[in-house]
Amino acid sequence: MNAAESRPMGKRVGTVREAAYIWMDGELVPWGEARVHVLTHALHYGTAVFEGTRVFATPDGPAVFRLEEHLARLARSARMIGLALPYTVDELRAATLETVAANGHAACYIRHLVHRGYGEMGIAARRCPAVVSVATWEWPPLLGTSGVRLMTSSWRRNDHRVVPVAAKATGPYLNSVLAKDEAMAAGYDEAVLLNAAGHVSECTGANLFVVRDGRLLTPPPGAGALDGITQDTLERLAAGLGVPAVRQDLMRTDLYAADEILLCGTGAGVVHVSSVDGRELGGPGPVTAKLADAYDAVTHGRDDRHRHWLTPVPASRPAA
């Protein structure tokens, strides 16, 4: 009997169904035993970096989409905030595949986390050990598939002169939490953040594209937007579809004048925006529909041109 066959059905907490195991510092531990101390440094000061990655069902079995790029960004993020990774990228790749296989997922979300652990308190506690974990769970697209009602947040996006916005670090995500809570309290689905100069940056957990006159426009990293892997994927797919993709500064009014707006990210997938600040855009436009179809084909292994983006997950095997 393998791990997938023997594990109990996980309980659902919110939109997350618990899996059997989480990988922590070199071993698989039962989900409920993956714990940290209350004085963990990252819990108090946000000294952690993370990645969100997805596994998709393909004709050849489950496969991780653009795993190499996600692990490379994790390593870059850790370096930016001065957090030494205790594992190589090869070791993290093996740990990722081991965790997905042990949990028996056909498709799932993966959360890689590197945090400064328990050992010393105080802001300058650089001697705290770096703790690495890999968790997987089944998670539907975070913004649904029927269209997103978007609002402009009153909060401004983090500035690169204040925190390294190029790092996917946990501390700066308070900015996104505040904006998301504000939007949902006002009856919207998601928030778009402007930077200090008034330019469009990104949404709380997704990059944003504007379609206008047949061109695909997206804010550059200099606007405070994360250099997204799904964003890069759509730009490459757009080139194959003959749609010019340009990174440029966008104003709030560019959202109101858009022919189409779409959001993208590992958690969100590709989803159209149905309205911005009460201004209706309607259903998904032709460019959004083409990109969503192309993304679905690539992630599910139906596009041979991009097979190199898929890392197959080995067959389930008993956990140690």
What are the residue numbers of the active site?
168
Rounded Cα gap, residues 307 and 63, in angstroms: 10
Phi, psi of 183 (to 5 degrees): -65, -45
Contact assessment for residue 274 and residue 261, using Cβ atoms and an 8 Å cutoff: no
Rounded Cα gap, residues 264 and 267, in angstroms: 8
Contact assessment for residue 232 and residue 66, using Cβ atoms and an 8 Å cutoff: no
Helix (H, G, I), strand (E, B), or coil: what is residue 234? helix
Residues recorded for the chain: 320
Q: Where are the alpha helices (DSSP H) in the chain?
A: 3-6, 41-45, 67-80, 89-103, 174-185, 229-240, 252-256, 286-299
